[in-house]
Structure 1
Amino acid sequence: MLSQKEALRRKFAQADFTDDVMFGLIMSQPEICKRFLQAVLPAYDFDHIKVTPQKYLKTSYVTRAGRLDLLCTNENGTQFNVELQMVDEHNLAKRSRYYHALLANNMLAPGEDYQNLKETYVIFLCGFDPFGLGWAVTDYQMTANHGNHILGDGTHTLVLNAKGDWREVNDELKGIFQLVLKQRATYGHLGLEIARNIKDFKESKAGGGKYMALAGEFWQNVWEDAREEERKEIVPLFVQKLAKDGKSQTEIMTYLETELGLSEDEAQEYYQLAMTKA
Structure 2
Amino acid sequence: MERKYKRLEELELWDDFMFGAVMSNKELCKTLLELILHKKIKDIRYPELQKVMDWKYEAKSIRLDVYIEDITDTVYNIEIQATDQKNLPKRSRYYQDMIDLNILDKGEDFNQLKNSYVIFICKYDPFEKRKCMYWFENICVDDLSLKLGDDSAKIIINPYGDDAEKYGKAFKALMGFLKSGRPTDDYTESLEKEVGVVKASEEWRREYMTLLMRDKENIRFGDLARGVCQVKKNKTRFTAEELSSILDYDTATIEKMIESINAHPDWSEEDIAEELLYKVDL
1:52 aligns with 2:50: no
- 1:54 CA drift (Å): 9.4
Say yes or no: does 1:168 pair with 2:163.
Answer: no
Q: Select 2:137's aligned residue among 131, 138, 141.
A: 141
Paired residues in the alignment total: 230
Identify the structure with bigger relative contact order (alpha carbons < 8 Å, sequence gap 6+): 1
- Residue 209 of structure 2 aligns with an amino acid whose one-letter code is M
Give the 5 Å matches for 1:119-138.
Answer: 119-138=115-134
Show the counterpart of 1:91.
87
Report the 3-state secondary structure (helix = DSSP H, G, I; strand = E; otherwise coil) of the residue aligned with 1:46: coil
Q: Is the 8 A contact 1:126 1:161 kept in 2?
A: yes
Please tell me whether the aligned partners of residues 50 and 74 of structure 1 are also in contact (alpha carbons under 8 angstroms).
yes
Contact map agreement 1:126 1:180 (CA 8 A) in 2: no
Superposed CA RMSD: 3.7
Deviation at 1:144, TM superposition (A): 0.5
Tell me the distance in 1 between the aligned counterparts of 2:23 and 2:137.
25
Q: 2:248, 2:198 → 1: CA distance?
A: 31
Structure 2 SS opposite 1:176: helix
- Indicate if the aligned counterparts of 1:144 and 1:150 stay in contact, CA closer than 8 A: yes
Match of 1:150 in 2: 147
Query: Could you say which residue in structure 2 is the equivalent of 1:101?
Result: 97
Which residue is equivalent to 1:248?
none
Paired position in structure 1 for 2:200: 203
Deviation at 1:29, TM superposition (A): 1.6
Which of 169-178 and 85-94 deviates more?
Answer: 169-178
Query: What letter is aligned with 1:144?
Result: C
1:72 alignment partner, one of 54, 59, 68: 68
- For 1:1-278, list aligned pairs within 5 A: 10-43=6-39, 45-52=40-47, 60=59, 62-63=61-62, 67-147=63-143, 148-165=145-162, 166-186=164-184, 188-217=185-214, 220=217
Structure 2 letter corresponding to 1:184: R
Runs of 5+ unmatched residues, structure 2 = 52-57, 227-246, 259-267, 274-282
The SS at the match of 1:149 is: strand
1:199-231 Cα deviation digits (max 9, x unpaired): 12212333322322234336758999x9xxxx7
- In the alignment, the residues of structure 1 paired with residue 137 and residue 250 of structure 2 have an alpha-carbon distance, to the nearest angstrom, of 42
TM-score (norm 1): 0.71
1:52–1:217 distance in 2 versus 1, CA, 3 Å: farther
Question: Aligned to 2:134, what secondary structure does the other structure show?
Answer: strand
The question of whether the paired residues in 1 share the 8 Å contact of 2:13 and 2:19 is answered with: yes
- Quote the offset at 1:127 in angstroms: 0.9
The Cα of 1:258 is off from its aligned counterpart by 7.8
Alignment partner of 1:168: what SS? helix
Using the size of structure 2 for normalisation, the TM-score is 0.70
If you compute each CA radius of gyration, which structure gives the higher value, 1 or 2?
2
Amino acid paired to 1:183: G
- What SS does the aligned partner of 1:181 have? helix
**Percentage of identical aligned residues:** 27
| 1:123–1:159 Cα contact (<8 Å) kept | yes
State the distance in 2 between where 1:82 and 1:214 align. 20
Residue 190 of structure 1: CA displacement?
Answer: 1.7
- The structural deviation recorded for 1:60 is 3.1
C-alpha deviations, 1:157-209, integer Å up to 9, x for none?
Answer: 011111112221333333332343243121x3222101111112212333322
Gaps of 5+ in 1: 233-256
